[in-house]
Chains A and B, each alone.
With several copies, the nearest count.
Chain A
Amino acid sequence: MIKITEHPLNPDDITSTVFSNEAGAVNVFIGTVRATTQDKKVVRLEFETYLNMAIKEIEKIIEAMKNKWPVHHVVVHHRIGTLTVGEIAVVIAVSSPHRKEAFAACQYAIDTLKETVPIWKKEIFEDGEVWVSAHP
């Protein structure tokens, strides 16, 4: 259900685990490494995590989703380590009886993950590097 790994993520494997005969809707969010940030060319990203706490915070997100919406299954996989342009950093898949709550729950999951889960990314450019969002 939750995985934080240095290995490449496979959206299809993740998505296939949320299907359910009682769910009519599946929504999947995939976050990838963009080639440019604020007009600067990205060479690679480096992700690190505070693993135990990150798992706990993702568990809280999933619990909140299940309280807010009638979701059947939720899977959250996040990659850490070094990623190059185009690689997948995060996959979130949600199944629910109807589409509206699948979209809402999946969007809640990625929005909240970006606020609370202790994972950090450093963008490495050709001429320097920056911890994303660290400064105002």
Chain B
Amino acid sequence: MEVEILAFGITRDIVEGNTFRISLNEGTSVATLKELLYQTYPRMKQLRSLRVAVNNEYVDEEVVLSGKEEIALIPPVSGG
């Protein structure tokens, strides 16, 4: 399946866009997605943290993606 992922902050700079598409096998977990991202975009490995939000919520890395969710990359936040 191909999913669209939202990118914010420094990840938006790394992927050079507000969104990008990536091909995943059925049953891919968030942890596996992150591994794929680190391979495709090695600069993401250098971040202090990289969380993944699914449908506007932080999720555990074991969560399996169906391809129908809104997926977003959350690099270290710095509001306030």
* A contacting B, Cβ–Cβ less than 8 Å: yes
In the complex formed, the residue of B with least CB distance to A121 is B78
User: Closest approach, in angstroms, between the C-beta of B38 and any C-beta of chain A?
Assistant: 15
Q: A135 to B80, Cβ gap below 8 A?
A: no
Most A C-beta atoms less than 10 A away, residue of B9, B47, B53, B56: B9
Given known A50-B53, A50-B74, A56-B56, contact A110–B9 (CB-CB < 8 A): no
Interface residues as binary, B26-47 with A (CB distance below 8 Å gives 1, 0 otherwise): 0000000000000000000011
Interface residues as binary, B55-73 with A (CB distance below 8 Å gives 1, 0 otherwise): 0111000000000000010
In the bound complex, CA of A53 to CA of B53 (Å): 9
In the bound complex, CA of A40 to CA of B34 (Å): 34
User: Closest approach, in angstroms, between the C-beta of A42 and any C-beta of chain B?
Assistant: 14
State which of B6, B47, B48, B76 has its C-beta within 8 Å of the C-beta of A50.
B6
> A110 to chain B: which residues have CB within 8 Å?
80
Within 8 A of B (CB), among A71-103: 78, 89-90, 99
State which of A52, A118, A122, A133 has its C-beta within 8 Å of the C-beta of B74.
A118
> A89 to chain B: which residues have CB within 8 Å?
79-80
The interface size of chain B toward A, counting residues with CB under 8 Å, comes to: 21
> B10 to chain A: which residues have CB within 8 Å?
120, 131, 134
> A56 to chain B: which residues have CB within 8 Å?
56-57
> A135 to chain B: which residues have CB within 8 Å?
46-48
Does A43 touch B at the CB level, under 8 Å? no
Given known A53-B72, A120-B9, contact A132–B57 (CB-CB < 8 A): no
Interface residues as binary, A31-61 with B (CB distance below 8 Å gives 1, 0 otherwise): 1000000000000000111101110100000
What are 16 A-B residue pairs whose CB atoms fall within 8 Å in the complex? A48-B12, A50-B53, A52-B56, A53-B57, A56-B56, A89-B80, A110-B80, A113-B79, A114-B77, A116-B58, A118-B79, A119-B79, A122-B9, A132-B78, A135-B48, A136-B48
